[in-house]
Amino acid sequence: MADAPLCVEILTIFPGYFDGLLQHGVVARAMERGRVQVKVHDLRRFTHDAHRTVDDRPFGGGEGMVLKPEPLAEAMDALGVAPLDPSRPGSRNSGLTVALMAAQGRPFTQAMARDLAQQQRIVLVCGRYEGVDERFRQMYCDREISIGDYVLSGGELAAAVVADATLRLVPGVLGNAASAAFESFGADDAAIDGSDDGVPRSQHGSGGLLDYPHYTRPAEFRGLRVPETLLGGDHQAVRRWRREQQLATTLRNRPELLEKAELSAEDRRVLAQFQERLRGQQREG
């Protein structure tokens, strides 16, 4: 019997927000093939007043509104999600994760997406306004997730990002499974195929660093040519070029990633050259 598909359930006050996610692209195709399930639940269904009220003013004063704990907890009850046991941290049933989308959460990473993709069921709670009542977070949420150091109007966009990044890693979702492994922020070659020669595979732009530049036909476009190395047929030279471009791109756009990356002596030599070149450009500028 085939394994049950990973199920992502999203709790929101704007269920229509996710129509695009459910109707287009990789996630929609994966749902059609039965590889994954995505269910969107309207938080207002779990209210009991005429105005379907989900928020109220914060105790202690201040700006904005806070999502009330009652409808959130009733939604969890309806979904069959029990409260956490405060005396047993990490006591949630294996295979289930409840994540609150919140600006104060842990930064969302590709590693976190890989971890979520190993679950059987994920419940994503979309915060709104000033957030959710802290008691709900303590009672039900295994983790808080932020997709960046900025504040959004609500957690819907963050939930869509987390769902897409996670579901594409489920086996069978992408046409080519290697597409999810060999890209920015992926695992290194040794973790994937046992390779440890320090040079990425021909389709690999990762190892915790950013991806290398990609080119396709035509070989010349408006006066700009594809680098000759990519046209020569020397696969080892292509791999070296791509590794160098990985390092250059990461140094330029996300230098902090280099601090945690496993770099070879050759990597460090190449980086030193790039850094000297950058310093020269800054002096000239």
Q: Are residues 161 and 191 in the same domain?
A: no
Q: Are residues 204 and 149 in the same domain?
A: no
Q: Are residues 192 and 96 in the same domain?
A: no
Could you tell me if residue 210 is inside a domain?
A: yes
Could you tell me if residue 13 is inside a domain?
A: yes
Quote the distance between the C-alpha of residue 56 and its chain's center.
Answer: 31
Q: Which of 2-6, 133-137, 145-149, 194-198 has the lowest mean pLDDT?
A: 194-198
84 secondary structure, DSSP code: P
Q: Are residues 148 and 193 in the same domain?
A: no
Q: Are residues 20 and 159 in the same domain?
A: yes
Could you tell me if residue 248 is inside a domain?
A: yes
Q: Are residues 252 and 155 in the same domain?
A: no
Locus of tokens 């709670």: 125
pLDDT at 205 over 50: no
Residue % of the chain over a pLDDT of 70: 86
**Which of 108, 135, 167 is a domain's end point?**
167
State the average pLDDT for the chain.
Answer: 88
Angle at 43 between CA 42 and CA 46, to 5 degrees: 110
Q: Supply the pTM of this predicted model.
A: 0.84
Count CB-CB contacts under 10 A for residue 8.
Answer: 27
Structural contact between residues 14 and 154, judged by C-beta atoms closer than 8 angstroms = yes
Question: 185 or 279: which carries more pLDDT confidence?
Answer: 279
Could you tell me if residue 180 is inside a domain?
A: no
Confidence class for position 244, pLDDT limits 50, 70, 90: very high
- Position 176 scores a pLDDT of 60
**Which of 138, 167, 196 is a domain's end point?**
167
Backbone angles phi and psi of 46, in degrees to 5: -105, 25
Residue 79 and residue 40: Cα distance in Å, rounded? 11
Q: Are residues 151 and 191 in the same domain?
A: no
Average of pLDDT values for 31-57?
96
Could you tell me if residue 209 is inside a domain?
A: yes
Average of pLDDT values for 22-33?
93
Q: Are residues 22 and 147 in the same domain?
A: yes
Could you tell me if residue 163 is inside a domain?
A: yes
pLDDT tens-place string over residues 89-105 = 655 767 999 999 999 99
How many domains are there within the chain?
A: 2
- Position 62 scores a pLDDT of 86
Q: Are residues 107 and 194 in the same domain?
A: no
Q: Are residues 52 and 151 in the same domain?
A: yes
Q: Are residues 156 and 16 in the same domain?
A: yes
Helices assigned H by DSSP within the chain: 19-23, 25-32, 69-78, 110-117, 134-140, 156-167, 178-181, 189-193, 235-253, 265-284
Q: Which of 52-66, 166-180, 210-224 has the lowest mean pLDDT?
A: 166-180
Domain of 104: which CATH number? 3.40.1280.10
**Which of 167, 193, 211 is a domain's end point?**
167
Count CB-CB contacts under 10 A for residue 199.
Answer: 21
Could you tell me if residue 59 is inside a domain?
A: yes
Domain of 189: which CATH number? 1.10.1270.20
Could you tell me if residue 179 is inside a domain?
A: no
pLDDT at 72 over 60: yes
Q: Are residues 112 and 197 in the same domain?
A: no
pLDDT at 28 over 90: yes
pLDDT at 150 over 50: yes
Structural contact between residues 74 and 46, judged by C-beta atoms closer than 8 angstroms = yes
pLDDT at 273 over 50: yes
pLDDT tens-place string over residues 160-195 = 999 999 999 999 898 665 555 555 655 555 444 555
Full domain range(s) for residue 11 = 6-167
172 secondary structure, DSSP code: T
Confidence class for position 3, pLDDT limits 50, 70, 90: confident
- Give the relative orientation of helices 156-167 and 25-32 as an angle to the nearest 10 degrees: 60
Provide the token pair at 253.
């756009």
